[in-house]
Each structure stands twice: as structure tokens, then as C-alpha cells.
Amino acid sequence: MSEQSRRLATRLRAVRRLCGPAIVFAFVLAVTLAATPVPARAVTPRSGPRVSTMLPEPASGPQPASVAVTALLAAPKPGTGLWYWPVGTETFGGWSGWLDSRGSYYHIAQDMPASVGHAVWAIGDGVVWKARSDAGGYGPGGSLGGVMIIVHTTATGQQFRALYGHISGLRYKEGQTVAAGAVIAKVNGCAHLHFSIHPGTVYRDGNMYAGHVPKSWSDHGGFVDPVKFLKTHPRLIPYVPPPVPWTTIPTTTAPEDYGAAAGAAYWTEEGLAGSATFRFDLASGTRSMLTADEVPPPFDVARYPALLLPSPQLGFKVGDRLPVIIASARHDTPVWGAAGRLTGVLSSAAGRRFGGGRVRLERDSAAGWVRVAAAPTTSAGRVVFAYVPPRHTTLRMVFLPPSTQPAARTYLTTTSVSVSLTPHVRLTVPVIPSVVRRGHTVAVTGFVTPRHASGSTCMSLMFQRLEDGAWITASPRALVCHDNGVRSSYRRLVRFATPGSWRVRAVHTADGAHARTSSRWRAFSVR
């Protein structure tokens, strides 16, 4: 036993208020298996140290109410970050949390109160890395108890390890996959779950079961605040493609040479008058007969799977495996350097939306399309990107189908409609005296930062006058934009014949490189 372990064991004996009978576990700081980056591969049952830096945890805070039997079975709805929170709540009032002090140790987990026997749910899909019922310190009073470590994945593809401690009745073994929200175990006699997150693959002392780490470890052994982590790293939503939409095409006799291409199905029927070839428009549903000179195009079997209807029906059905991305962007980025929001909706050709479909944002460049970002779609098929255009930029969204899919649910890749974003000219609010004398010449001044390629009369001042409660636009006054790529000033002399309440703003009209943009209004009166 090392000196450090001896000190720790002494500490343990000193702990009096425990979550159960005070059985003090003799402690050995184990240094064994370094964590492997790939969890499911070559898993040895009961691998890893049997003991851990897990101090006995007192039951603190309000005691949880006893749970109904149904709570053991039904997974709660996902909470913040779309995670299933391990005992169904995101509030842990009074219970030991991240970096709570325990002598010379920090608690590197969140204790989640739950009555003995309460279900513990997997926060997301994952692979069980460690599952054992004899880990030191995880039973009542610091005795041996159950712990499970599951490798989960965030929406951005980051893998991390979640530790579920003080459990019993473990339902999964090492190497098994776990579905989001599945019951993995129940809370043991400690009446709370000890839940921690380690985003790395290397454990500082080789002890993946650590519940507390020395305060001298500034990196907290690689553990992070589990609640904050879940709330800031959303869950990966599994890709669930909608069923391929099928169009049924009844025929008069058994169809021959049937298939589809470019939005239309074709087939040949043998009738009393000889053979005839038909065309069926998949969008409109209209059918027509081809003339003797017309030949159907080669069938696109990749996009349009075709199947004969089961006997005794006559006809066939055609699927359409093309997903569509409908992309849009707010074209008027407010100021130079601000991000434009690009929104995409991923759906099948029949309009069914894909959740968890991966969409890549690409930028047009001299070298071709360049990846900018990628993100999965929400359950409503939506994806949102923020992009700061350095210049007039054409972007597109690309659907990335998963590499392995059951054939009937396979969708093909496609590109979206392109979206253009244009950085804007920055305009200040024009300066004009708050009171202007009618008939007198006055100067309107301001600043413009054009940042575009060629100079022109590209700006104007828009004046409006209040008349019967409505703003009436007077003819705009053009301004020359000094296009040297730096902030420059303008000065325009104007004269007003009509007294009243007026306002003015600077407007940069749309041109080849810019969308229209405006400054805020400046109010003044003419007397």
C-alpha cells in the first residue's frame, strides 16, 4: 500500500455520516489499464481497477420521494440538450455537485437524488465501456457497488464517457450498445446516482472509476462539470430516414419494361391492337401514350426503384429516393462582419422531413466547393448555419447520406439550391441639425465603409415627411461613394420647402456585389 493510499484510507475511516452502514473499504490506488480510445473493441469483462477514488458519500439534501413502479419502466422525455437525464430530473437541490470539497479532494460529479430502486436511464445512445457491480466505494458506506461507464456521442460527433455510479441490477455488459432512454440499472442503497463525465480517453492515474480527485490536480483528472457539459453539448440524434415515397401506377394489362427517369414512369403494355408504351408524370399523375417515334429514356434505377404490384393487381409502383434540401438565407446581413443565417430543411422528394440527416455547408471558391461546416438536422428536418461572408459568396448545402443504410431506406445525395450572401456596406446615421430653417441650405453628413471593388454613385439619402400620420417619401438624393475600401465621409447640401416633421436615412442600393442596406433614421424638423 502506497503512502498516498494509506492517507486516503485513514481519511475514509474519519468519514462518519455515510449513506449506509459504515463499512470502510481498504483502499488501493490502482494504476492499470490506460483508457483505450475505441470503447467497444476487445473488451475484457471486469477490466479496469476494482477499487476507485470514491469517498463514501453522505445522503445530503432533501430526500427524494418514493417513485411509482411505472417510473422504473417509462423513460422520461429528453431534457436540455435532448439528453435523457439519468434519473429524470435536471435539478439536484442540495446534493453534492461539481467540485464540492471533501477535505483534500474534490467531488468530480453531480449527485442526483433518487429513491432506492429508482430507474437509471441512459442519457443517449452509446456503448457500454465498463459495467461492474464490485467497484470500490460505490456501495452503501463505501462498500463495493455498481458502476457503469457508457461512451456517448454529442451532435458534433464528440465522444465522451459518462459514469453512472451507486447502481445495482446492471442490465448491460461491457461492449453492448445501449439505446437512448433505456433503463440501464437502478439506484442502490446510497439513494442517489453519482454521475460524472470524462470527455477524454486518458485517465490521469488510470482509474476510470474515480469519484473524487485530489485538489492538487488542476485538470480535475480530465473530468468536467457533467451538468454544464450536457447543457452545452446537445445529443446526437440518430439518422432516421423517412420511408421512401412510392407512387402506385395501375395498368390495364401486365406491364413490361417498366421503370422511371427524370420525374416520369414508363411501361409497355401488350394489347389487342399491339404494343403501346405509356408515360406517367410522377408529380402531376397525368398519363399519356408515347407515339411510335418516341422512346423512353434510360431508367434511373438508383433514384427510382420499381416493383411489380403483387398479383392479382396489375401495375407497378415507383419509389423516389431523392432527398431535397430547401435552403434559404437572410440576404440582408445587418452590418459588415455580421453573420448571415442560413436555414435548410431536409426532406424527401415527397416532402417527408429527415431528422438527424447530416448536411454540409459549402462555399464556392476558385478551387471548387469548399467545406465550411456540417451539422445534423433536427427532428423537424431543419438545420441552421451562421456564416460571415468575407465577400459576395455563393454557398450550398449538401446532404450526406450515411454510409450504411438498409436498401429500402437508402436516400441519394443531392445538392441544394445555392444561396448567396453579401457583406454589407456599413452606414452611419446621417447627421443633420435637429431644426432646419425652411428654404435654407443645410449639410447632411455621414460615413460609409464600402469595402467593395468599384466606385459608383452607389448611395443615396432618403428623406421622409410626416403627413396626416404617415411618412411620405421625398425624392432621394444621390451620393457618390468614395470607394477606396476604407471608412470615408460624405457631405450633401439640401434645402427644404415644406415645414413639418422630417426624417432621413442613408441607403446603399443593391449592386452587383452588395445587397441593399440602410442606416437607422435621424429625425429633424423644418420650420
Judged by the rule CB under 5 A, the positions of this chain that interact with Zn ion are 57, 109, 111, 194
Least Å from the CB of residue 216 to Zn ion: 20
Contact 327, 340 (CB under 8 A): no
Closest distance of CB 140 from Zn ion, Å:
13
Q: CB of 190: closest distance to Zn ion in angstroms?
A: 9
**In the complex, least distance from residue 303 CB atom to Zn ion, rounded to whole angstroms:** 54
Min dist CB 107 to Zn ion, Å, is 5
Q: How many CB atoms lie within 10 A of CB 96?
A: 23
CA distance 67 to 59: 17
Whichever of 142 and 446 has its CB closer to Zn ion, that residue is 142
Our CB check for Zn ion shows the closer of 194 and 505 to be 194
Q: Is 409 helix (H, G, I), strand (E, B) or coil?
A: helix
| Bridge-based pairing state of the strands 340-348 and 323-329 | antiparallel
C-beta of 192 vs 492, nearer to Zn ion: 192
Minimum CB separation of residue 109 from Zn ion in Å reads: 5
CA distance 161 to 172: 16
Helix residue ranges per DSSP H, 218-291:
226-232
Query: Closest approach of Cβ 111 to Zn ion, in Å?
Result: 4
Q: Looking at beta carbons, which residue is closest to Zn ion? A: 194
Closer CB to Zn ion, 57 or 125, in the complex: 57
Smallest gap from residue 19 Cβ to Zn ion (A): 10
Residue number with CB closer to Zn ion (112 or 436): 112
109 vs 324, beta carbon nearer Zn ion: 109
Residue nearer to Zn ion on the CB measure, 220 or 492: 220
In degrees and rounded to multiples of 5, residue 71 shows phi and psi of: -65, -20
Distance between CA atoms of residues 307 and 319, nearest Å: 9
The secondary structure of 439-457 as a DSSP string is T-EEEEEEEEE--SSS--S
Nearest one of 230, 231, 210, 232 to 221, comparing CA atoms: 210
- Cβ neighbours, 10 Å, residue 324: 18
- 195 near 109, Cβ under 8 Å? yes
Smaller CB separation from Zn ion, 24 or 109 = 109
Spatial distance between the Cα atoms of 250 and 238, rounded to a whole number of angstroms: 36
| Angstrom distance (rounded) from CA 510 to CA 452 | 12
Q: Give the count of alpha carbons within 13 A of 71, CB side only.
A: 17
